[in-house]
Structure 1
């Protein structure tokens, strides 16, 4: 891990910096531009407006990462469950994303798995027949195998579980060949916090690995199994290549999804919707937005450029 990344993690965990940034956000549009609301009701309201105005779907994520305190863990879990209930009442996809380290894995695997099952059961209860999933975010390599194991366990329990995989990891194709045979949702991202011994090296090689993984996800075998490919990327070059690949293989534009961060490149999100593609935004909510924002920069310094570009553009979802 680079010095830059270690520094951003330290900033993310700094209570003093967090208080200062939240105070600044209260006087600016910074937090509201990239966070969907301070609570469940506000976040669901944002998701509903996105769906009604543009047909953009949302995956709600309650802000809270790397939590070991039992009370904080329980709070994170109950917020995710409340989001499921509220999404169901609103007639939206009951789609939530969770970090395993936010729901108990910093305490014990047993607690984390039990809480993931609670959230998965909440998705099932509230589901209305749309794309209803609890999607596991992929964090650092120390929890990767446990996250993949949790995904398999949730599927075996009959719960609607999805997973995030990172294209930069050399072992991702192995995991994908198993996943595409399941009725599941899988979000492919380029990946964060590079580790030389585990990863492809260099942007060109990682981009090619992303397209190689996309090829597996758009295979006839995947479509036959009812697998849902989700491509998490803000890179229009990759998106264009995926659109071409899908078209050549007979996938309809609504047979897969593009997913991006809420507030980042909304103009591109709207353009994709105009072309008939499914677009979902990863929509964080809650008050603790500073660790989330700085971690996104720490994971990939290029995210700082994406955030700055979005702040400086005229692009927005609502006039």
Structure 2
């Protein structure tokens, strides 16, 4: 166990020494990777911080159940009770809108009053207005409830008032897809940068590696410092990316704060949770080590 630990301590010291031997190129690689990492971190921060903003806008998704003609009051109350019983966990409020009340609301609008006077009778059906609770996927829930309620007896048609939901989810889906593509691009940049760095290091240390093999060094002993080099590059890049993202949020929050205040809402962008950042950093370290492993396996066969 002590021997294994000593080998790893030696490999870590060698990796740090090689980083110090080429400070400019090492710093350049770390900065390039960190700049690429900063963009998805900021994107994730905006995406997470937009969720409370959507709730502050106080937009309520509604479904309107238009009842079949001549539906009795008892049947209407039965439908109300059934909605509450079967979908109560997804519903914030449900109310009955009688046809006469709906007509009165339309007549209160001067733009409709004259046209409605020409009608011989009230053409509007009785309706049930259902307000849904907030959820992570409101459009899918509204569509599922619409399909279910459409099959119920006494319901002529269900109207899903969720155009805003579709737009919001389309925007969020676009952002998530963009973040996914950015994450893939970051992974490629990490792999390519570390791969090239380790390749140059392996070629530079070619004679040293040959001598180490002559005196009995194993392949693991020769390659281990390069793995630490890749992991250290990923670790330093992750820390710098988090610091850059945190600094970038200062002017962004100043501008967004003034904008949100003009609309009477509170909105500030915060970095993702520490656990998410930690997981992201570990992934980058692993990618750096993997890239180093691929490069050193390919370029130390001499």
Report TM bin, short chain.
under 0.3
Give TM-score scaled by structure 2 length: 0.20
RCO comparison, higher one (Cα < 8 Å, 6+): 2
Give TM-score scaled by structure 1 length: 0.19
Greater share of helix: 2
